[in-house]
Amino acid sequence: MSKFEALTGNAAVATAMRQINPDVVAAYPITPQTSTVQTFADFVADGLVDTEFVCVESEHSAMSACVGASAAGARVMTATAANGLALMWEILYIAASNRCPIVMSLVNRALSAPINIHCDHSDVMGIRDSGWLILFSENGQEAYDNLIQAVRIAEHPDVLLPVAICQDGFITSHALERVEIYDDADVRAFVGEYKPQWPLLDLEHPKTYGPLDFYDYYYEHKRQQVEAMEHAQRVILEVAEEFNRKFNRNYGLFEPYRLEDAEVAVIVANSTAGTARVVVDRLRDEGLKVGLLKPRVFRPFPAEELADALSHLKAVAVMDRSISFGAMDNAGPLFLELAAALALHGVQVPMADYVYGLGGRDILPHEIERVYRDALKVAETGRVERRVTYLSVRE
């Protein structure tokens, strides 16, 4: 039987980790992720898990130990945020390239400088080409659900790639919410036992991991990563389907809200989608045809499916919680990728980007309402007055 508990997003993640019972967790404290590893350390100290918890001296060593443990044949998890993720960066690529199915809880926080401990998505956007699968979570429940699914996705023989599960620093990582926690046995049955295919600790069959790989094979190995990414979308959907059936949820590649008959839509990930949903309802009460699309899977990017889902709209507003400095119009990465997806799939819809919430700047319903009203105007005129707007910033 599942039960409902009042948990912070981090506590929900730690609970999922307890239920998954990984062989090794290697992690380093960083705000706002710290309470995850603290809670997990309690589980270790109280003998509630079999995990070997490696309290490393840096995030670089956290990811290095994760790669070692994963190559050894262990089920491995970690958690980090912002600068910690940045310090891991070198080894994130190695984890993906060595096909280590490591699962990470990534609590999104602004990258330095200036130093700032609050939420934005600059950290995760820095690893978008690293070969990790990346999933967003609106709240603690989704972070919990996604983490459980991530184990199955990462370890699928057609994928074998690491997965990062994102949630918003403080906004959901530290907010108490009602979270449905499934029965331990059900979660353990769902994730199953990890059967590594090429464990380093299979002493009878010695393996060499991480050889020098020049122009004669490196490229083929990169091509295989592409193939794994291509498989990942199908696997994510298969795992979601099984999860939805078992735990009565409704996960897919993204979540549309009142989108079907909408004329304009906002695309926004993580916690702000929750605020936007309220705004949609309010505007719908006024008779305005507005909808919402909340991305769940960011890597692999479901371009075609997104284009399909948005093809009927008269205007699209993307909300980005980070900036791709120096990219076209200094827009956000979500906008850039979505604009390319729509254009290449023949969807002609006026688009604008709204950068918001950097460094934890609050995003309020009236600001999102303004985005919708802008979009409604664009739908009417067919003209985008301003390609990129930086919301609520002192200019």
Partner 1 sequence: MPTKLIPKELAKRPERLAPGHRLCAGCGASIIVRQILAAIDEPVVMSCATGCLEVATTIYPYTAWRMPWIHNAFENSASTMAGIEAAYRSMVRQGKIPEQNVKFLAFGGDGGTYDIGIQALSGAVERGHQFLYVCYDNGAYMNTGIQRSSATPFGAHTTTSPAGKVIPGKQQFRKDLTAIMAAHGIPYVAQAAPSQWRDLMQKTRKAVNCGGPAFMNVLSSCNRGWRHGTDETIEITQLAVDTCYWPLYEVENGEWRLTYKPKEKRPVEEWLKRQGRFRHLFRPENRHLIDELQAEVDRRWERLLRLCGEA
Which residues make up the interface to partner 1 (CB under 8 A)? 23-24, 26, 50-52, 54-58, 60-61, 64-74, 76, 90-91, 94, 200-203, 206-214, 216-217
Look at the block and give the residue holding tokens 């507005």.
290
Closer residue to partner 1, CB minimum distance, 64 or 116: 64
Closer residue to partner 1, CB minimum distance, 76 or 240: 76
Least CB distance to partner 1 at residue 53 (A): 8
- Give CA 38 to chain center in angstroms: 22
Least CB distance to partner 1 at residue 101 (A): 13
Torsions phi, psi for 30 (to 5 deg): -155, 135
Question: 308: closest CA among 253, 240, 361?
Answer: 253
Least CB distance to partner 1 at residue 218 (A): 8
Contact 141, 179 (CB under 8 A): yes
What span, in angstroms and rounded, lies between the C-alpha atoms of 106 and 99? Answer: 19
Closer residue to partner 1, CB minimum distance, 207 or 386: 207
Q: What is the largest CA-CA distance in the chain?
A: 70
Closer residue to partner 1, CB minimum distance, 90 or 242: 90
In the chain, the N- to C-terminal Cα span, in Å, equals 53
Closer residue to partner 1, CB minimum distance, 225 or 244: 225
Least CB distance to partner 1 at residue 271 (A): 32
What span, in angstroms and rounded, lies between the C-alpha atoms of 149 and 143? Answer: 10
- Beta-bridge partner residues of 27: 55
262: left (phi over 0), alpha (psi -120 to 50) or beta: beta
The continuous run of DSSP H or E covering 298 comes out as strand 297-299
Closer residue to partner 1, CB minimum distance, 77 or 368: 77
DSSP symbol at 352: E
DSSP for 8-69? -HHHHHHHHHHHH--SEEEE---TTTHHHHHHHHHHHHTT----EEEE-SSHHHHHHHHHHH
Closer residue to partner 1, CB minimum distance, 4 or 198: 198
Least CB distance to partner 1 at residue 97 (A): 11
Closer residue to partner 1, CB minimum distance, 59 or 320: 59
Tokens of 283: 């505007």
